[in-house]
Structure 1
Amino acid sequence: MTTLRQAVVWDLDGTLIDSAADIAAALNALLSAHDLRGHDVARVRGMIGGGVAKLIERGFAAAGDPVSTLSASDLAPRFLEIYSAAPTVRTKLFPAAAETLRSLDEAGFCQAICTNKPEAVSCAILAQFDILRYFTAVVGGDTTAAKKPDPLPLRRALTLLGVGPEAAVMVGDSAVDVAMARALGMPVAAVTFGYGGCGPADLGADALVDHLDQVPGVLKTLAPASLQVQ
């Protein structure tokens, strides 16, 4: 018995795709243009989250040349130009990502992306991996007037899906995702392999996901009985 339509809102980087290597390549190209030494992928992985300007701010600070938030914002268009030219050279889907999205789609779940990555490049990446078709909505860092952890992007995603917070679950990898979902009273699952910046158990999520094929089972545990698909 299904009384309401169910929805899943996904984060992108560190949740569905492992994009750290391509992000690092773009950041390092920007740093090199300013005569600064780049960072290895592992270090950049810990800088991801909060949007492009925040990544640049962290990257320049770690290279020994801190920039202001305003200056980082000024550098963001050049970073995006570099990154958008080759966003999937080294990027990969996390194991079982495509299969899980297809399974949920076939089960009648509506799905959306809510990311701080710009909308256009997010759609291009999803299309490259042939998974864009599973998403009713893609809300990027430039889609609304605010970025995560502000709840506005998530609220926009839910509006486009045509559901309320009571019929949806957020799946992400960071405290930003958890805070955003909490602001709308939504349950949230956190993957344990992402770019969260702290131990997954410390994120305060309602459930932890070690492998994406666990998500359908986790959704059943998080959804109220009235929303569960029988």
Structure 2
Amino acid sequence: MPEIAFDDVEAVLFDLDGTLVDSAPDLRAALNELLAHDNLGPVPLDAVKTFIGHGVRKLVERAYAFCGHPLDGPQLDAAHERMLPIYGQHLTNLTVAMPGALDAMEALHKVGKKLAVVTNKPATHTGAVLDAYGFTPLLDFWIGGDGEVAKKPAPDMLLFALEKLGIAPAHAVMIGDSGADVISAHAGNIRAIIVEGGYTPDPHKLDADAVIPTMDALPALLGLAPVSA
């Protein structure tokens, strides 16, 4: 991977699940509650991690298919609608902030970087999670995936966030853990950094512009002093 400079970055866009928080245990609990109504499941945590990344509807679709009971059309729509309030009761029971995430964001915020969260998670759930783990006061903007703007891997949400921040794509970077994050960023001419420890088995295969082991390494990569300094 060629070395790419990031010292001109003015705006940092973050994915949420697998990047700022590990929400897989809560998503697993909610999915298993949903599946139990149809006498299906439970699904293991490792499998749930592979379902995450394209929104709740896709999460539900993948879970039912994993259980040998694929859904589509109105059946999938109905299961998706049942899942939303169930997950609403499981947002912060088992979820934890990813290592170094809050410290890294605080360091970037302190030097005036524009910060935003761009996630396919529904807006109501997103806001509750951001509030619960202390991210909201550090953000200039955030957007969930249930509005009219096309979800990742389309670039639309990233470009919409940058428009709100008043920053050009050439001066932005997307921080995530999945192929959807990289694809959406590059489609919008935005650089992409992948954080290990998320929900992608081999993040080095995602064609990101850089890969970091934890969020602690992000400030230094962007030209700031290390978080631990």
Matched, 1:85 2:89: yes
Matched, 1:204 2:204: no
Specify whether residues 106 and 78 from structure 1 end up closer, same or farther in structure 2 by C-alpha distance, changes over 3 A only. same
> Quick check: 1:57–1:69 contact (8 Å CA) kept in 2?
no
Q: Which among 17, 24, 33 is matched to residue 21 of structure 2?
A: 17
Scaled by the length of structure 1, the TM-score of the pair is: 0.90
Aligned partners of 1:106 and 1:69: how far apart in 2? Answer: 47
Specify whether residues 24 and 189 from structure 1 end up closer, same or farther in structure 2 by C-alpha distance, changes over 3 A only. same
Matched, 1:6 2:10: yes
Specify whether residues 182 and 69 from structure 1 end up closer, same or farther in structure 2 by C-alpha distance, changes over 3 A only. farther
> Quick check: 2:29–2:90 contact (8 Å CA) kept in 1?
no
The Cα shift of 1:173 comes to: 0.5
> Quick check: 1:5–1:163 contact (8 Å CA) kept in 2?
no
> Quick check: 2:35–2:64 contact (8 Å CA) kept in 1?
yes
Matched, 1:166 2:145: no
Give the SS at the match of 1:190.
strand
Aligned partners of 1:182 and 1:158: how far apart in 2? Answer: 14
> Quick check: 1:24–1:40 contact (8 Å CA) kept in 2?
yes
Matched, 1:213 2:216: yes
> Quick check: 1:144–1:153 contact (8 Å CA) kept in 2?
no
Q: Which among 160, 168, 190 is matched to residue 194 of structure 2?
A: 190
Aligned partners of 2:217 and 2:9: how far apart in 1? Answer: 20
Give the SS at the match of 1:208.
strand
Give the SS at the match of 2:28.
helix
Q: Which among 57, 64, 69 is matched to residue 65 of structure 1?
A: 69
Counting matched residue pairs gives 218
The Cα shift of 1:41 comes to: 1.3
Structure 1 runs not aligned, ≥5 long: 222-230
> Quick check: 1:207–1:218 contact (8 Å CA) kept in 2?
no
Query: Where in structure 1 do 4 or more consecutive aligned residues deviate above 4 Å?
Result: none
Q: How does 1:92-103 map to 2 (within 5 A)?
A: 92-103=96-107
Instruction: Give the AA of the match of 2:217.
Output: Q
Specify whether residues 166 and 88 from structure 1 end up closer, same or farther in structure 2 by C-alpha distance, changes over 3 A only. same
**In angstroms, what is the RMSD of aligned CA positions?**
1.7
User: 2:147 corresponds to which residue?
Assistant: 143
Give the SS at the match of 2:193.
strand
Give the SS at the match of 2:157.
helix
Aligned partners of 1:67 and 1:60: how far apart in 2? Answer: 7
User: 1:224 corresponds to which residue?
Assistant: none
Comparing 210-219 with 6-15, greater Cα deviation is found at 210-219
Instruction: Give the AA of the match of 2:76.
Output: A
Structure 2 runs not aligned, ≥5 long: 1-7, 225-229
The Cα shift of 1:30 comes to: 0.6
> Quick check: 2:55–2:120 contact (8 Å CA) kept in 1?
yes
Give the SS at the match of 2:197.
coil
Aligned partners of 1:206 and 1:144: how far apart in 2? Answer: 29
Comparing 141-150 with 21-30, greater Cα deviation is found at 141-150
Scaled by the length of structure 2, the TM-score of the pair is: 0.91
Aligned partners of 2:74 and 2:198: how far apart in 1? Answer: 28
What fraction of aligned residue pairs are identical, expressed as a percent?
Answer: 38
Instruction: Give the AA of the match of 2:125.
Output: V
